Chain A
Amino acid sequence: MFAVLRDLIRYNIEFAIGMVLVGVVVIFALLSLFSPVDPSLIYIAIPDQPPSAQYWFGTNSRGQDLFWQLSAAFRNSLLFGVTVAVLSRIISIAVGLAAGYLGGWVDRVLMFVNDIFVSVPIFPVLVLFYFVLRNNMDSFTMALILACFGWPFDARLIRSVALGLKHREFTRHAVFAGMSTRKVLLEEHLPYVMPIIFSTFMNNMLWSIGMEVTLAVLGFTNINNPTIGTVLYWANSHSAMVVGTWWWIVIPVILMVTTFIGLFLLAISMNEYIDPRSRLRRMGA
């Protein structure tokens, strides 16, 4: 595991850059654990101060120190992304492996359900859920809903690998040796799909954080919970760009682009790592 990581950092420039970018953001988000202020309180600093030695990122029109505010926001957003990614990975692994290995009608039913989830436009559905739940829409509920929609693509990917694994010699040996289906899937097949899971994990995080931002900017989430999206929501509702408090928009956008590019680079370099052909080309073969 560590050898793989070391090789990736050494030979894959995208992976190294991605690690650095994500690392910076994660450290920044972790600083919120030592935050001297409660991020949910307003009017505790002088409003509308530009970045200075005292307020590194300035303060916003709601009287919050943007440094600590953004730190808490990034922690919440990253946590949200990880929650969605973990939950939807569980579903996609279960569906993908079962459909690929068991085949037959199980496969047909699961892929039929999969097709339905693929073709439902997620955004109207999320808005619908917000419309119905209103104040009960906290970030865990939203993570659950997004996880329910985030699995189908990856389940297909995992299924295609599982289809190949099913006919390999070692699977037959395992079955003849009396291994239960559950054991075959978890102990024999799961390690083979692990790289896919890692790379889709990043993509899923990107997607879910993007969704959260989109919803929050429109005011369709709990706007008092600091996340990347709600920071932008409040900046917008105080028309930060027009009033001249540019740091309220520009700093979160820069941090956000850093996060997104970092996660994206990690995802594509992982993808490349999985595909042996492109690895060979990189080595000059």
Chain B
Amino acid sequence: MKWGRFMAFLVMVAVVIGLTVGTAMPIAKKIPLGLDLRGGVDLLYQIQPSSGQHITESGKQALLQAVELRVNNLGVASPIIDLEGRDQIRVQLAGVKDQAAAAKTIGETAQLAMYSSAKMDPKTGAPIAPAGKLLATGADLKSNASYVQDPNTGKNEVAISFKDPKKWENITSTYLGKPIYIFLNDNLLTDPVINEKMFTGDSVIYGPQLTTPQECQQLASQINAGALPYPLHLQSETSVGPSLGQASLQATLYAGMIAIILIFLFMIVLYRMAGLIADIALVAYGYLTILIFNGLHVVLTLSGLAALVLGVGMAVDANIITYERIKDEMRQGRSLRSAVKIGNKNALRAIIDSNATTFIAGAVMYWFGQGDIRGFSVALMVSIIVSLLTAVLLSRMMLLSFTNSGVVKRPWWYGVGKGVLKNDEA
């Protein structure tokens, strides 16, 4: 019996159990849950066509697309967007921190306008309202606006490009040396003086309303989502409960706990000590997954949970593959120690290939999917990586140090029955 190896094994077990018991709950509580699991905010918009404008079927589809684009720009997982009645759009969002800003981004068109002059506040001399000639609007801009940082000053800006570089060239040549006034929803954004003629149509805008990256991103996404075909008016804003139902989720939570306990017992019955090691690796899997979800600010939905369950399945599978291989090696007459070593080695390729294939599926789903599908694929990719770290790497380290410590010598501890072995002892 080697006490050093056994101590190393005990330390690994203690670290996993200690960290999980000590810190898992507070971290888990920080993970935002999706609309289906916790509910969120329900926004109802009235489509209000301007006078003389008719709502057409294609116009409604364009409007829904624009709304969807704006919701996606908010970075919200799995929104629900419904067309309601003849002239209403209902949007349900989960995990939104600033509801008012979200409601605004979805419903308001960024009315970006550039004017040749402005009314000045008589007291301060600061420009307050547009005047003079309307030079350009948000509609003149391409849909590729983005948040940038000035490489020299570090100032937050929004990079824009004009659809027609000629137009911007004309403006900059006409008003060379003069200020122009850029308003966002009738508030002055900035009043830059044009210093040189611009030929490419590319420019940046900045101003007192664009100080944080978030503000810049919001303006950029509003410009990119374009003008809404019809103005929207926010009619109501209510909080909604989980779409899967409170009682139902409570029951599911308990059932999930029973399932985990049964899986743990099943592994121990099948593989004894090795099964227990697999169970500890599973605890580490759960803990690391929670940690990464929290770090990535993933909004967890039922699809995400499904992917995690699949991840648990794959993690358990990795251990089962390894233990069956170890049994195979023992049947061929290897000693306990070398069976554990060779078994681990032989199992690895199957585990890597099967996990890599599923990971590729996850990556493709992320690339081509949206909403719920993306939530699923992110959770799947995270759980595959974590399961390789825990169910393969950690589990292997624990198993090897336990085996090499020589605490137990009977293969029974690894789930190997009597009669399959040629020489019963290591």
Q: Do A and B bind each other?
A: no
- Chain A residues with a Cβ under 8 A of chain B: none
